[in-house]
Amino acid sequence: MAEKTLVIIKPDAVYRGFSGKIINRFEEVGFSIAAMKFQKVSEKQAVEHYKEHEGRDYYKRLMNFLLSGPVIVMVLEGPDVITRIRKMTGKTIATERESGTVRGDYSVNNLYNLIHSSDSSESSAREISIFFKPEEILEYETATKKYWFF
């Protein structure tokens, strides 16, 4: 069964012109875009999104960064999409990033790390609901869906 996950292409990726390259990586491996918006994150959305980090020393930097410019929020769908997108995204810590991942290939440091992806099905459901109404998430056939399961 296919699952869904939230991906946020953060302001640094948008400003540096990497949005298309990042989206293309996900489409090339066969994931479907079920929803997508180009927007500025509201303070309410940012607070809800980062609520588990509240009180930590880096919380204000995270918030300021997410609110600093436009982002692309997406719901991606596919088999094992959460685990596979996390692997494609790469590690948060700059010194642990592997070449071939989005962060390993393009990010500058720990804060400006280009992308967010949900880390579990529970987080995915919660995070998707912050940015999308259920009717904004589309179901449609793609050429690659027939290859998802055999």
Instruction: Give the model confidence (pLDDT) of 109-135 as tens digits.
Output: 877 899 999 999 999 999 999 999 999
CB 59 within 8 A of CB 47: no
Instruction: Give the model confidence (pLDDT) of 91-109 as tens digits.
Output: 988 788 899 999 999 988 8
In the CATH scheme, what is the homologous superfamily, with its name and number, of domain 3-139? Nucleoside diphosphate kinase-like domain (3.30.70.141)
CA dist., res. 25 & res. 22, Å (int): 5
Tell me the catalytic residues. Answer: 116
Instruction: Give the model confidence (pLDDT) of 22-70 as tens digits.
Output: 999 999 999 999 999 999 999 999 999 999 999 999 999 999 999 999 9
> Model pTM?
0.94
Where along the chain do its domains lie?
3-139
How does the average pLDDT of the chain come out, rounded? 94
